[in-house]
Chain A
Amino acid sequence: MLTAHRLHKRYGEQVALQALDLDIAPGQIYALLGPNGAGKTTTIQCFLGFLQPDGGQVRVDGIDPSTDPASARTRLAYIPEQVNLYGQFTGDENLHYFAELGGHRYSRREREALLADAGLQAAAFDQRVSAYSKGMRQKVGIAIALAKQARALLLDEPTSGLDPSASHEFSRLLQGMADRGVAILMATHDLFRAREVATRVGIMRGGVIRRELAPSELDARDLEAIYLEVMAA
């Protein structure tokens, strides 16, 4: 569903991605770990078609996002690290707006269910987003991603700003989506969450995936040790 083959990207002299290979099948959750500047966000932006690769190939369900971004994006849902929404709209109105933009129409009751699934308190549905905390905005972002019913999900630090119970709920949601056959690529610093939900983990440094492993075979402490080992190498 999400594939990258020998993907290259440079920002001037700075190499962001170097011969990156990635293949995420439907139902898989791939966690990309790595320090800031490792190339995680660049990888996601290449899948979204926001950045043009300098070399290699990237495909979303067989579609090249750099030549047909609209088709690729209809198959994708995306939650950025900072979910910023329209402050003059309520949470429900933002969901309505983005869902319509994504080509889906939901009734008020369905939207409420989506917001509740994302973990937003019912009292906040009709509050203006300008009064929301970062975590509340993140939950609306999750609801928007759920509403899109996409075949692939790209997440850039999705649990940043979420409290532990919301993060746990989020992990449960991701598992549910993966069970429905959604391919998920998640860039994160959260080793615990990565180990909890991912079917595979890639540890990136300098635009290259240095290690790839199945975290289900490890506990969080092992993963942290491997991560630090890769960073030190």
Chain B
Amino acid sequence: MSMTRLARLLVQEWRLFAANRSNLVLLTVLAALLGFSVANGVGRVNATQAAQQEAVAAATARWADARSQFVEITEGRREKQQFDDATRADLVLMSQRNALVLKPTPLALLSVGPAREGHDIVAVGVQARGAAGAASRENPAIRLDGPLDAAFVITWLLPLMLIVLSYDVLSRDREQQVAHMLASQGVGLGVIVLARLAVRFVAVFALTAGIVTVGVALVMQGELSRAIADLALWLSALAVFIAFWLALAAGVNARTKNSAAAGLTLMGFWIVISLLLPVVASQLLSGASAAPQRLDSVLGRRALDAELTELAAEVTERYYAENPARRPQTPAINEYEQYFVESYYPRQVALDAQFEPLARLVAARKVEQAERLRTAALFSPSMAMKMLTDDVAGYAPERWHRFDTAAAEFQAKWRAFYDIKFASRTPLTLDDYDDAPRVAYRDEHPHARAVRNTLPAIGLLLAILLAALAAHARLRRAGP
């Protein structure tokens, strides 16, 4: 068939598709769902970015303010106060918490459902690390719409839409006895089905890609070029994912003469691919690489904190025994200074050290689960699409682990720089302000996400290949 004739066939199939109002209604519903989920994602990402900028600005301003107070004190323009003295390490460093932020990836708006609210801002100072996100983002009303994110719509609802749009792509013609007229025209039924599916592919892909790209452009605010690598990877996966469901519909239609049976068969595929396989994989992996729940981690940390508080004197003694140079040479000015320097701070150091194995175990298990899920995604295109989408959206455990590790390293650097002064109550100098370790976290390169998702990508490609081969074999033999 010549390209001109194929193009004319596509135009005719588009007219046939558009003449069916239910198709347009479905596309409108899909656009509304995608629009809402993407708008939801844009709102969340913008809020995250604002909170991060605010946290970083507040930390920077606090440090600059302390430095200018230090200068004023040393130049005699300001009096030292009991709790307002920029030359005292304990006062300055106990309140200075640097904000280390994990900026949203360019496609973060796709998966705001699994977002770890507040964990993308870590407060790092001499005290134990902690999440420093705005409390309002944990508000239940705000969290409620999280699950209806673009990843959910695209992974679970989009295949349903595709099934409704294509379940009767040929079986309806057979049912209504148009197929004989159709088949007698000299164009193979396979080519007609292909043209029909191509029309649906273009409609759904253009709509989905367009809405997501607009969302990304809104989030990136003129820096869309930074999103190109992630966007190209994700759009390729989306194209394959849509093509897979359409190829499945073609295969089923080639065999079935009844549109209801075709619809039910495709729904069966959806249940197995999108529900059963992910549930089975999740159950198996939860058992095989069980990671402590977030609540267990929080409770474990609290229990550890309570235990260390009870053994405060012992903890302090152990700290000074291990770090004799940090033992204060002068008595504390008051009970606050004594508490923070000699009791609270050693406990914070001990808390971080003792919590570290649990934190490492949780991170390792999460990474292990994600790796196994990516392997399991070879058998379920829906799982592959979800894993890949969550990953380009920045929610891969590997990326979080990398960030947590960087936060721990920065904290170690910060403590190494200050804690001898802090613990030994040595007054600060201007160099201590100016030479402070700088927060400079560089996120992973998008290439890392592409490499990590090789298996889901292979899974998607295998799925489309198998579905296309099966559809081709059946369509070649398909009669009216």
User: In the complex, what residues of A have CB within 8 A of residue B176's CB?
Assistant: 84
User: What are 10 A-B residue pairs whose CB atoms fall within 8 Å in the complex?
Assistant: A50-B183, A70-B187, A73-B185, A78-B180, A80-B180, A84-B177, A85-B178, A97-B12, A103-B186, A148-B185
Which residues of A are found within 8 Å of B192, using beta-carbon distances? 101
Contact bitstring B159-200, A, C-beta under 8 A = 1, else 0? 000000000000000001110111111111000100000000
Looking at B20, B21, B177, B185, which has the most chain A CB atoms within 10 Å of its CB? Answer: B185
Q: Digitize A76-120: 1 where CB-to-B-CB distance is under 8 Å, 0 elsewhere.
A: 111010111110110001001110111101000000000000000
Residues of B within 8 A of A (CB): 5, 8-9, 11-12, 15-16, 19-21, 176-178, 180-188, 192, 479-480
* Closest CB in chain B relative to A155 CB, distance in Å: 12
Q: Is the CB of B183 within 8 A of A48?
A: yes
Cβ-defined contact, A89 with B16, below 8 A: yes
- Whether, in the assembled complex, A143 has its beta carbon less than 8 Å from a beta carbon of chain B, the answer is no
Kindly list chain B residues whose C-beta atoms are within 8 Å of the C-beta of A69. 188
A141 at the interface (CB under 8 A from B): yes
Please measure, in the bound complex, the distance between the C-alpha atom of A89 and the C-alpha atom of B21, giving whole angstroms: 11
Q: Is A144 an interface residue (CB 8 A)?
A: yes
Query: In this complex, what residue of A is CB-closest to B480?
Result: A50
Q: A73-B186, A84-B176 are in contact. Are A98 and B479 (CB under 8 A)?
A: no
Establish whether residues B19 and A101, one from each chain, have CB atoms under 8 Å apart when the complex forms: no
The reply to whether the CB of A167 lies closer than 8 angstroms to some CB of chain B is no
Contacts of B180 in A (CB 8 A): 48, 50, 78, 80
Cβ of A105 and Cβ of B188 under 8 Å apart? no
Choose among B11, B180, B192, B480 the residue with the greatest number of A CB atoms under 10 Å from its CB: B180
Query: Does A86 contact B8, Cβ atoms closer than 8 Å?
Result: no
B12 touches A100 (CB 8 A): yes
Return chain A residues, CB-CB under 8 Å to B479. 50
Bound state CA distance, A98 and B178, in angstroms? 11
Q: How far is the CA of A69 from the CA of B183 in the complex (A)?
A: 10
Contacts of A105 in B (CB 8 A): 8
Q: Which of B12, B16, B183, B186 contacts A74 (CB 8 A)?
A: B186
Residue ID in chain A nearest B17 by CB atoms: A88
Extra inter-chain contacts (14) besides given A74-B186, A100-B9, CB under 8 Å: A48-B180, A48-B183, A50-B183, A73-B186, A76-B186, A78-B184, A80-B177, A86-B178, A89-B15, A97-B12, A97-B15, A101-B9, A101-B185, A101-B187
Q: Given B12, B177, B480, which contacts A101 in the complex, CB threshold below 8 Å?
A: B12
Contact residues in A for B16 (Cβ distance below 8 Å):
86, 88-89, 97
B188 x A70 contact (CB < 8 A)? yes
Main secondary structure of the interface of B (DSSP, over half): helix
Given A84-B176, A88-B20, A96-B12, A102:B181 Cβ within 8 A: no
* Bound Cα distance A86, B439 (Å): 66
A141 CB to closest chain B CB (Å) equals: 7
A98 to B15, CA, bound (A): 12
A86 to B12 Cα, complex, angstroms: 12
Q: Which residues of the other chain, B, contact A148 by a CB distance below 8 angstroms?
A: 185
State in angstroms the CA–CA spacing of A48 and B177 once bound together. Answer: 16
Q: Which of A119-148 contact B (CB under 8 A)?
A: 141, 144, 148
Q: Is the CB of A103 within 8 A of B12?
A: no
Instruction: Please tell me if the beta carbons of A102 and B185 are within 8 angstroms of each other in the complex.
Output: yes
CB-CB nearest in chain B for A141: B181
CB distance from B134 to the nearest CB of A (A): 52
Across the A-B interface, give the 3 residue pairs with the lowest CB-CB distance, nearest first. A74-B186, A78-B184, A101-B185
CB contacts (< 8 Å) of A97 on chain B: these are 12, 15-16
Least distance between B193 CB and chain A CB atoms (Å):
13
Inter-chain CA distance A115–B21, complex, in Å, is: 26
Most buried by A among B8, B181, B187: B181
Chain A residues whose C-beta falls within 8 Å of the C-beta of B480 in the assembled complex: 50
CB distance from A67 to the nearest CB of B (A): 13
**CA–CA, A101 to B186, complex, Å?**
8
B258 to chain A, nearest CB (A): 16
Find out whether the CB atom of A70 lies under 8 angstroms from the CB atom of B186.
yes
Q: Which residues of B contact A73 (CB under 8 A)?
A: 183-186
Inter-chain contacts of B8 with A (CB < 8 A): 100, 105
Verify A83–B184 contact, CB threshold 8 A: no
Contacting residues, chain A, for B185 (C-beta < 8 A): 73, 98, 101-102, 148
Query: Closest B-chain residue to A88, C-beta based?
Result: B19
Asked if A144 and B15 make an inter-chain contact with CB atoms under 8 angstroms apart, the answer reads no
Q: How far is the CA of A48 from the CA of B184 in the complex (A)?
A: 7
Instruction: Kindly state the separation between the CA atoms of A50 and B11 in the bound complex, as whole angstroms.
Output: 26
CB proximity of B173 to chain A, nearest CB, Å:
9
B15 CB contacts on chain A under 8 angstroms: 89, 93, 97
* A86/B186 contact (C-beta < 8 A), A50-B180, A78-B180, A100-B9 known: no
Q: Which of B11, B12, B20 has the most CB of A within 10 A?
A: B12
The chain B residue with its CB closest to the CB of A148 is B185
Task: Give chain B residues whose Cβ lies under 8 Å from the Cβ of A93.
Answer: 15, 19
* Cβ–Cβ contact A102 & B178, under 8 A: no
Chain B, residue nearest A45 (CB)? B180
Q: Which of B183, B186, B192 has the most CB of A within 10 A?
A: B186
> How long is the Cα–Cα vector from A74 to B15 in the complex, in angstroms?
23
Residues of A close to B12: CB separation below 8 A: 96-97, 100-101
Q: How far is the CA of A86 from the CA of B73 in the complex (A)?
A: 88
Q: Is the CB of B19 within 8 A of A89?
A: yes
List of B residues within 8 angstroms of A71 by Cβ: 186
Closest chain A residue to B184, Cβ basis: A78
Chain B contacts of A144 at CB under 8 A? 181
Roughly how many angstroms separate A166 CA and B419 CA in the complex, as a whole number? 103
Query: How distant is the Cα of A96 from the Cα of B16 in the complex, in angstroms?
Result: 11
Min CB distance A195 to B, Å, is 27
A77, A84, A88, A103: the one within 8 Å of B5 (CB): A103
Q: Cβ of B183: which chain A residues have Cβ within 8 Å of it?
A: 48, 50, 73
List the A residue with the shortest CB-CB distance to B479.
A50
Name the residue in A74, A80, A86 with the highest tally of chain B Cβ atoms < 10 Å from its Cβ.
Answer: A86
A126 CB to closest chain B CB, in angstroms?
13
CA distance A86 to B188 in the complex (A): 18
What is the CB-to-nearest-CB distance from B270 to chain A, in angstroms, rounded to a whole number? 26
Q: Which chain B residues lie closer than 8 Å to A101 at the CB level?
A: 9, 12, 182, 185-187, 192
A93 to B19, CA, bound (A): 10
List of A residues within 8 angstroms of B187 by Cβ: 70, 101-102
Closest to A105 in B: B8
What is the minimal beta-carbon distance from A83 to any residue of chain B, in angstroms? 7
